Amino acid sequence: MKLKCFAIFGVLLLVGCATLQQADTDWIPIGPEFPPTKAKDIEIVSGRQDVTRPYGNLGLLRVKNVKPDRENILMGIEKGRKIAASKGADAIQLNQYNSAEDDAADPRITLIIYAIKYVDNLTPQDKKAIEEFQVLGMLNESNS
């Protein structure tokens, strides 16, 4: 019975992934990238009030063109966790935009995900990434 349930879940996941593959993603960096973390360890929060530790924003991720059903939304969130983990995030803050609000004929959702890095326990490598990002930011500002 367990094997049958696992097989059904696997098929549903593959079908869902095929649907989600059509979703567009884009990453807008706000802060430095850090060594990757594990996606399964990424905390999911719904708002700033839910973040209980000092943090900084690493970037904004948009997972666009997601079908507005539970399975696709959950897969979009997992995709967001993986991308945020690859940037070194500790948590993600979730928001969404629903095109149904604009009377779209085929409504889709855009998941808006902020990648968060907690700053109360930084390693020397993390601190170096922040310093390098600040130096590059100063150089970009002086060239504009």
> In sequence order, what are the residues at sequence separation of 6 or more whose Cβ sits closer than 8 angstroms to the Cβ of residue 55?
90, 91, 116, 117, 118, 119
Range name among 55-59, 119-123, 138-142 with the lowest pLDDT average: 138-142
pLDDT at 55 over 80: yes
* Range of the structural domain that residue 119 is part of: 2-142
**Each residue's pLDDT tens digit, 89-113:** 999 999 998 877 777 788 899 999 9
Summarize the confidence of residues 5-27 as an average pLDDT.
56
Which tokens sit at 77?
A: 């969130």
> In sequence order, what are the residues at sequence separation of 6 or more whose Cβ sits closer than 8 angstroms to the Cβ of residue 16?
71, 72, 75
* Strand 43-45 to 55-66 pairing: unpaired
**Each residue's pLDDT tens digit, 124-143:** 888 888 888 888 776 665 44
Domain count across the chain = 1
